[in-house]
A and B are shown apart, each in its own frame.
Chain A
Amino acid sequence: MHKPGWSLRHYLLVLLLGVTLIPLGVATIISVWQYSGDIDRIERASMKQEMGVARLAERYLLYALENTRRALRSIDKTRLTHPGQLRGRIAEEVHGNPQIEAIHVTDADGKITLSSREGEGLPIDDVESFRQARHSGQPYYTNYFYSNLVDTPVVALLLPYVDRDGRFAGVLRASLSLEFLLNEFTNQYSFEERYYIFFVDRRGTLLAAQNFRPGRNLKTLPPVERLLMGEDGTLKYISNFFGDRVDGIERLGAYRHLGEAKWGVIVTQPSAHVLANPIRNLHNSLLIILFTAIGCFLVSFLVANRLAKPLDALAAEMGERTTKQNFAHAVEVPITSGVREFQVLTSAYNTLMKQIRQNFEKINALNSEVSSQNALLQEQNEEISKQAERIQSQLQELDMLYQKVNEANVSLETQVAERTSEVQAAYRRLTDKAAELEEANAKLTELVGELRKLDQLQADFLANVSHELRTPITFITAYGSSLEDGLLGPLTDGQQEAMRSIMEGASRLTVLVEDLLDLNRLESGALEIMPSPIDPAMLIGPVVESAKALAHAQKQEISIEINKGVPAIFADYERAQQVLRNLVSNAIKFTGERGSIKVRCYQAGDGVAVEVIDDGIGIPKDAQPRLFDRFYQVDASSTRKYGGTGIGLNIVKSLLDLMGGRIEVDSEVGKGSTFRFVLPASRDLPTSAGASHTYSPPGEARRNRARARQAEAAPEPAVVAAAARHPDILDDEATPQNSALDSGEELVG
């Protein structure tokens, strides 16, 4: 809200008035000051003039008095010389001096002896003056007295005279009319329009005045006061004519004593007369100033108004808007002021207000939206409250449940506490055990480490050993075969026999080395199985073919029986052959002369079964479970007879396991044995050589190299000879037994 204060109009007014009135004020002050100065000057000048007039009056009167004295002396002289002409002389003097009204001659007692008028024989009417004159012997000017002789107030000059003896003999009195003198005086100088001149006696009694009867005492009149105090001068005083201050006007007066008579003359005029001009000037100035001031007032008022009014309108409008906040009703304030700043202000305000109004309208729109939203929220709130109530009741139920649970809890807690202590005890025991276990573990880890080392050593050992074993076997075989084949000349029968034995030895050694290596690989998991679809005939045929020689040497029959429609076997070709070879070899070994061995093949579920059936010595029941164990031999003595290390069947089982197959044995001592192994059937058909291994025929590599050189390019086509399938090419798995069989065949011849 606004603080109470003046409006701009007031300020402007004050300002303008100040601006204008101050100089006016100053002018006024100067005028007045000048005026008072003027007044002073004028008054003083006037009073000086009056004094001049008074002096003039004095001289005039003194001249008259001088004449009067001269007249009286002349009369006195006449008295002395021509006493008879005295009356005539008196009449002349009275006639010749208009100021003398009457002359009286007295004797020494004061009796009038001679008079120009009446009174002869009467005592003088002013005894006091007579005495004074008699006493002083000098001319004596009386004060005003009432003469009963002439029936008018008079003032007189007494001239005492003496007889021949020089003794006082009476007075010569001339009663004077000062009025006449005064009239004469004022007429002569035309003072009556300006000055008021009057004479007073030594007591202050009026002797003569214009238009006024003498006789009144004027000692209260300030100039008369001063005269009575013996002063001459001028003064400013207030009084009416009678000496009262009431109803008095200000007068300027000059007062003088008149010669010997010590009467007074007063010249006075109202100060107003004198000051008329200055006063009028002052009045004029003040009037001008006043009118100017009024003019300034008006102009200030108008200007202030003119300046302030547009601002008023703006202020009123702004006030209206901001106090009541009704921006929607903002009106445009018209620009009525000529002042540029106000114009700018007004138009800016208009612009702002317009903006505010627009914003206001926007806000209003938003507000109504918000209200409707609020209404929605309100509904939702109520919903929520209801929900809350529902929840509340549920909570109460929960509370009750909670209490029950608490009670249960309490009892549980006690139980738990008991259990906890038990558990803690158990835990302590456990931690002790754990510590023990950790120790054991540490030891185990040590052992494992050592075992690993041993393993590694074993592997290295085996690798080394196998190589070392192979080397002598190699040259034994090379030289042996050379000898056997007659490269160093023909052999005798005995030599041939010896060679066969040597070769048999080499062969067995080779088998052993291969078995050991296989064992090693199986154990270390290094043995690779590369299965592919195998035609059963291709698997069984070559093995049986190779075995035929040895079998016939023992007069045994060996035959194959493959069922029609038997699917391909999914297995590693070499290893499967190795398995079969081992079993067939065993069958031949453990079957006597004229025995028979049959190899059968049929589908078994989703696998293919291969059976090697012999009618040999059979295997005891208690030996059968351990048959496939490493180094297990049914009969230690049979080793000497039949040979073998007990490794074969172990390898067979391991290989079958790796290929996803299994092996079983049916056997009865004396009745023969049936070894059956089952391998998975292949979904695919077998490839032409019974193996899907890519085989490189001899010379292919050479041709490929030529092609490559021509093409400048690539490495030789990937000739992945996974297995040399050519029967002449010896491989590490199958051929030891082949060799054995071969050599067996040779031995048999």
Chain B
Amino acid sequence: MRVLIVEDEPITLGAIKLIVESAGHQAILAEKSEDGLALAKSELPEVALVDIKMRESAFDGLELIRRLRADPATEDTVIIAHTASVSPPSIAAAMQAGADDVLRKPFRQAELIDIIKRNLAK
């Protein structure tokens, strides 16, 4: 699978890349939301891991998720939001924006692989 990773912290981005590639997927990286959107449209990954916060981007992760869903090309992408805040309102916001699932930070590598596996299975 091709997995788009949208994460503004570069080290975290590297960690996720390691995990995803260890699981046999291809990792597509984006440190900014707008890059993520463009890559999603051009690469058409099956999975997108989107950081909700995304500081210093033109728009935040929620908006990215909305746009992915709005575009027919990318609307079927499995989108997993990841965020440090997993309060019910935050989860609701992510799901409402169109995420398939929400992953809490910090996470262990197994948890990430698992959530991807689970959401791909549907």
Q: Which of A721, A732, A735 contacts B92 (CB 8 A)?
A: A721
CA distance A720 to B14 in the complex (A): 32
Residues in A whose Cβ lies below 8 Å from that of B105: 470, 473-474, 477
Residues in B whose Cβ lies below 8 Å from that of A481: 107-110
B69 at the binding interface (Cβ < 8 Å): yes
B107 near A698: Cβ-Cβ < 8 Å = no
Residues in B whose Cβ lies below 8 Å from that of A720: 88, 92
Hey, what's the 0/1 contact readout for A161-180 against B, CB within 8 Å counting as 1? 00000000000000000000
CA distance A380 to B122 in the complex (A): 99
Tell me the nearest residue of chain B to A699, going by C-beta.
B122
Hey, what's the 0/1 contact readout for A714-729 against B, CB within 8 Å counting as 1? 0110011111100011
Task: Give A464-510 interface residues, CB cut-off 8 Å to B.
Answer: 466-467, 470-479, 481-482, 485, 487-488, 506, 510
| B45 shortest CB reach to chain A, Å | 16
B95 near A721: Cβ-Cβ < 8 Å = yes
Residues in A whose Cβ lies below 8 Å from that of B85: 732
Residues in B whose Cβ lies below 8 Å from that of A477: 105-108
A730 near B92: Cβ-Cβ < 8 Å = no
A724 near B91: Cβ-Cβ < 8 Å = yes
B100 near A698: Cβ-Cβ < 8 Å = yes
A589 at the binding interface (Cβ < 8 Å): no
B86 near A730: Cβ-Cβ < 8 Å = yes
Please classify how large the interface on chain B is, using the bins under 10, 10 to 19, 20 to 34, 35 or more: 35 or more
B115 at the binding interface (Cβ < 8 Å): yes
Hey, what's the 0/1 contact readout for B46-74 against A, CB within 8 Å counting as 1? 00000001000000000000000100000
Residues in A whose Cβ lies below 8 Å from that of B88: 528, 530, 693, 720-723
A48 at the binding interface (Cβ < 8 Å): no
CA distance A504 to B89 in the complex (A): 29
Q: Which of A467, A488, A729, A732 contacts B18 (CB 8 A)?
A: A488
Task: Give B1-39 interface residues, CB cut-off 8 Å to A.
Answer: 9, 11-12, 14-16, 18-19, 22
Please classify how large the interface on chain A is, using the bins under 10, 10 to 19, 20 to 34, 35 or more: 35 or more
B106 near A478: Cβ-Cβ < 8 Å = yes
Residues in B whose Cβ lies below 8 Å from that of A732: 84-87, 104
CA distance A518 to B85 in the complex (A): 12
Residues in A whose Cβ lies below 8 Å from that of B22: 482, 487
B109 near A485: Cβ-Cβ < 8 Å = yes
| A480 shortest CB reach to chain B, Å | 8
Residues in A whose Cβ lies below 8 Å from that of B87: 528, 731-732
Residues in B whose Cβ lies below 8 Å from that of A510: 106
| B48 shortest CB reach to chain A, Å | 13
| A281 shortest CB reach to chain B, Å | 147
Q: Taking A471-B12, A698-B101 as given, write out 20 further A-B residue pairs in contact, using a Cβ cutoff of 8 Å, ordered by the A residue number.
A: A470-B84, A470-B105, A474-B9, A475-B9, A479-B18, A482-B18, A510-B106, A528-B89, A698-B100, A701-B98, A701-B99, A701-B100, A701-B101, A702-B100, A705-B98, A721-B95, A724-B86, A724-B102, A729-B102, A735-B104
**Closest A-B pairs by Cβ, 4 of them:** A730-B104, A699-B122, A478-B15, A477-B106
23 residue pairs bridging A and B, Cβ less than 8 Å apart: A471-B12, A474-B84, A475-B12, A475-B14, A475-B15, A478-B12, A479-B15, A481-B109, A481-B110, A488-B18, A696-B95, A698-B118, A699-B119, A701-B100, A705-B69, A716-B96, A720-B92, A721-B88, A722-B91, A723-B88, A731-B104, A732-B86, A732-B87
